[in-house]
Amino acid sequence: MKKTSLITILSTILIIAALVSSLWLDDNIGSRVVNIVTVITAIIGAIALFIQFKKDKQINTASFLVEYSKSFYNDYDLFDVFAELDKHNSNPSYQFDFKKFQSKIVVYLEWIESLAALVERNTIDLYTIDNIMSYRFFLIVNNKQVQDGELLPNAKYYRGTYYLYDKWYNYEQQRGLEMPLASSGLHLTEGYQEIIQGIKSKIK
């Protein structure tokens, strides 16, 4: 049973218990009414705080990702990498020079490893990062040169990237969206299913 479901069930039991005790354990009708109103007010307040906290968390997470992303791309000068990748996406005959940009691509993939850890721990969800990062993420991992030159021969070092790709790819499929370079998706590469199964078997 999921933790959230257990919390919901326990909260419901506590609320019912409070209402029952307020209703039946006090002979004074006025006291019963006051107790019930107090409990209901507390419940409404708790729900309002929870909703506000959730909204604030989503906003803060999105703001953090946007600012961190800007800082990251500026510091490591990755704009030229994605400009070249985008040219290849628009025109498949355009030759992307993987060797020229390999060191920068490795830096980006290492950053993705950190992002994947946050997603795996449910610190950040795909809904929050999808519009901000999905295009560039798939632009790199679905690139044939990047796969052959980095991801496939070094798959054991990119556990997070594979995990995030599998989760993100399925998320896009459910929404009916097509990712960049879909015809050379990472899930189509040799050994992909074995890698994913190995990763899933280690996730508790």
What is the distance between the alpha carbons of residues 147 and 94, in angstroms, rounded to a whole number? 17
Of 13-17, 120-124, 191-195, 197-201, the one with minimum mean pLDDT is 13-17
What is the distance between the alpha carbons of residues 82 and 85, in angstroms, rounded to a whole number? 5
Give the type of residue at 56. D
DSSP code string of 97-158? -HHHHHHHHHHHHHHHHHHHHHHHTTSS-HHHHHHHHHHHHHHHHT-HHHIIIIITTTGGG-
> pLDDT tens digit string along 4-33?
455 555 555 555 555 555 555 555 655 555
CB 22 within 8 A of CB 35: yes
What is the distance between the alpha carbons of residues 121 and 191, in angstroms, rounded to a whole number? 26
In order of 2, 14, 16, 36, 94, the CA distances from 9 in angstroms are 11, 9, 11, 20, 57
Model pTM above 0.75: no
Going by the DSSP 8-state scheme, the letter that residue 43 receives in this structure is H
> pLDDT tens digit string along 63-84?
666 666 666 666 667 888 989 9
> pLDDT tens digit string along 103-161?
999 989 988 998 898 888 888 889 888 887 899 999 999 999 999 999 999 999 999 99
* Short-list 113, 114, 125, CA closest to 167: 125
Decide which of 46 and 107 is more confident: 107
CB 66 within 8 A of CB 132: yes
Decide which of 78 and 204 is more confident: 78
What is the distance between the alpha carbons of residues 109 and 104, in angstroms, rounded to a whole number? 9
Which pLDDT belongs to residue 11? 57
Give the type of residue at 116. A
Residue 54 confidence class, pLDDT cut points 50, 70, 90: low
